[in-house]
Structure 1
Amino acid sequence: MTKFNQSEGVTSEYEIEEDDHHHTHRPLFRIKYRSNSIVSTNFSDTGSISEGLPTIKVLGTGGTIASKGATAHQTAGYEVDLTIEDLISTIPDLSTTCNLEYEQVLNVDSKEMGTPELLLLHSKIIEDLSKYDGFVITHGTDTMEETAFFLQLTVNTNKPIVLCGSMRPSTAISSDGPMNLYQAIVIAANRSSRARGVLVALNDRIGSGFHITKSNANSLDTFKSSNNGDLGHFVNNEIHYYFPPAKPLGITYFHLTAGSTLPEVPIIYAHQQLNNRLIQLAIDELEAEGLVFATMGAGSLSAKTNDFTGRLAHSRGIPIVYSKRSQDGMVPKASLPVQFEAEDGTKSPFLNNIAGGYLNPQKSRILLQLCLRDRMNIPQIKDCFKGVYGG
């Protein structure tokens, strides 16, 4: 028995049963809230804990929401220090909303998220997809949009997958973590959230994980989809969607198997007088199978850079995606260079370039990685990017 202090100051008791038969290194806990206490229930892979309520799985990966600072006013320089069990204990009673299970998959700052971590999270969702009615993923905000986009492309389901996090650590004044987590769970448990794709829930807003991006490094109201808008809001414990259920247009689904890897695809940030040797180094030293440019404007690179890249791309047979460094807008096919100049001055068609459409560089990179993993050729990759008005 463990003591749990309720917000009203009442001390209650609860039990949590650990099931590590299949999860030796990541214990799985199943709990159920009742009134002002939490009581344990027996774990079962089949069936729900109580009829009529959905069963939601919360997957903890770390991030600011699981961080602690040295003072109540510290909002930078904190470290991940809390488990998903700690976070669950801070949210209100959900006994009339859902049955809840949670598991610590990772516990890292999202800047540490990479291919191995993405694949681990993906495999955990695929493994549990048939057992639960929805998923919530606690995640750092710095790379949340990349994880959400990756999951949208690799998990084909109508069940809600909701990512949440926080901009302030748990110890900060007015920490936003507990409310964001509570709202994400309620959203995942609501049938109206089905068939909407991967969702991101922060600061009372519900956004599409396919479209959303972090727009501000510091403020609570940071996640935006300025070209597409929010899908809905969470107000006074009510979910308000603005549109009927629909997944984003342009999704290409990729099937990942056990042991999958993703190829190396660097991003080059364009600027005045870009040194073309950076492009050479990225391809030669990193053995990159593709490249993404964060271009100036709507696909602009200098003529020297376009010529240099064209020669390199065609000699190596690698795709080059033209994305943009601006948050909004898009790179259309019309912005792509149609030819490049060879060393001898002759002109050749530039066939290996791809317009990133409205995808930012980090999302363009993920889509290109998945295309390359499936061994797509240049025309096939262009077809995938057509879905986001590129190609």
Structure 2
Amino acid sequence: MFAKASLAAVAAASLLGSAAAAPLLATTLQLDKRDPVYSPDFNITYSSNHSEGLPRTLIMATGGTIAGASASATDSTNYRAGSIGVAALVEAVPQLLNVSNIDGMQVSNVGSGSITDEIVITMSKLANKALCSEDAPYDAVVVTHGTDTLEETAFTLDATLTCNKTLVVVGAMRPATAISADGPANLLEAVTTAVSPASHGRGVLITLNDRICQAMYCAKTHSNYLDTFKAYEQGFVGALLSTKPFFWYPPSQPTFKTVYDIANVTEFPRVDVLYSHQEATFDGVNASVANGAKGFVGAGTGAGSLSPFASANLAYVIQQGIPVVASTKINNGAVVPSQNATEGSYISSAFLNPVKSRRLLQILLALGKSTDEIRDAFEEPLRGYLY
């Protein structure tokens, strides 16, 4: 049975093949006499039926460090993300089958910097079919993902999942070949959290390093260390003890959260993030508009401030009816809206960081919202609370 094989060995073996595109090993592994299952909606390449009494979880694998491989067990920085497939990930953690029946599908197998809007929209639609449809076939969904853009995907899924079933996004900071790789334990904890009744009604969750974080506010805070995902102000919603989830508070959703139905959305409009600094000009915004940009997010200094040069260029863009959201590159705090919404000015991001502001703006534009409606979606909840 493949489950007993070392994930590190499988990952290392994959490096001996092509040094180019990462292979999808899930399609070539011996699945212990379990035939792959296919349906119109889910291209399942791994399936287990360990117990009729256990819940069923869909694992959507996208690649990332959790599926990465390096030539050395001590090298946790120079590796190839997305080197092994979903079957290898599951079979390397046989304890998973004591927790849930598992179906696995390979949505992509890339580093998360290569995740596209198309992939994210596909995952949102699959998650809604898996969990929220009238005859939903799954009790929970787990997404394995690279950590670099994990927060963007998790936020999108949180903003577009239309029911209260649990979806957990998980990654790893060390590749599968590393000494003390964190991926297997993280995956077990993600599935355990996903199928726990205590997880229902909390929105999309992120689990890494024995911590449970809500997707709306959780962000990657360190480029190397295991305890990278945090929500500094909002805090963790729970932790894992002996792989069992424990929540600090009863189920609740983040304040001001809104869910959007993107079932009919086929693509997200282009929205660019502009990083501010001293003497930032943003001279390229007009070229971006000419190349198809439909909105901008300013990653401002402090509470969303921009240089006079940048402000002048963005003012011209706003006059053309293109929405500009003011966010902050600082990890904590809010860009607070003014008491009265002002036509022709920036839209305040409230507590959303630049990449999450970008995604929300994309969703709203894809749904055909006007600039005033976009402003209300970002600003009105906090404005109504403050004034």
Choose which of 141, 145, 163 in structure 2 pairs with 1:139.
Answer: 145
Task: Render the CA deviation track for 1:343-368: whole Å, top value 9, x for unaligned.
Answer: xxxxxx76241001111110000001
Partners of 2:192 and 2:282 lie apart in 1 by 50
Indicate yes or no: 2:154 matched with 1:151. Answer: no
Match of 1:107 in 2: 109
Match of 1:307 in 2: 312
1:322-361 equivalence runs, <5 A: 322-334=326-338, 351-361=344-354
Match of 2:359 in 1: 366
1:57-206 equivalence runs, <5 A: 57-79=58-80, 80-129=82-131, 130-206=136-212
Indicate yes or no: 2:40 matched with 1:22. Answer: yes
Partners of 2:277 and 2:2 lie apart in 1 by 57
Higher Rg of the two aligned structures? 1
Match of 1:381 in 2: 374
Q: Extract unaligned runs of 5+ from structure 2.
A: 7-30
Match of 2:48 in 1: 31
Partners of 2:339 and 2:77 lie apart in 1 by 40
Task: Render the CA deviation track for 1:126-155: whole Å, top value 9, x for unaligned.
Answer: 232211111111000000000000011111
1:154-303 equivalence runs, <5 A: 154-258=160-264, 260-284=266-290, 286-303=291-308
Task: Render the CA deviation track for 1:238-294: whole Å, top value 9, x for unaligned.
Answer: 32100100111222222113562111110110111112412222223x221111100
TM-score, normalised on structure 1?
0.85
Partners of 2:115 and 2:237 lie apart in 1 by 26
CA contact (8 A) 2:265 2:366 kept: no
Partners of 1:3 and 1:182 lie apart in 2 by 17
Give the secondary-structure state (helix, strand or coil) at the position aligned to 2:358. helix
Partners of 2:145 and 2:339 lie apart in 1 by 35
CA contact (8 A) 2:337 2:379 kept: no
Partners of 1:4 and 1:125 lie apart in 2 by 26
Higher strand share: 1
Aligned-residue identity in percent: 33
Task: Render the CA deviation track for 1:87-142: whole Å, top value 9, x for unaligned.
Answer: 10111424442222211121111100121111121222123221111111100000
Return the offset for 1:74: 1.0
CA contact (8 A) 1:358 1:389 kept: no
Change (3 A) 1:260 1:311: same
Give the secondary-structure state (helix, strand or coil) at the position aligned to 1:178. helix
TM-score, normalised on structure 2?
0.86
Partners of 1:310 and 1:176 lie apart in 2 by 47
Higher helix share: 2
Change (3 A) 1:82 1:242: same
Partners of 2:39 and 2:158 lie apart in 1 by 30
* Number of aligned positions between the proteins: 356
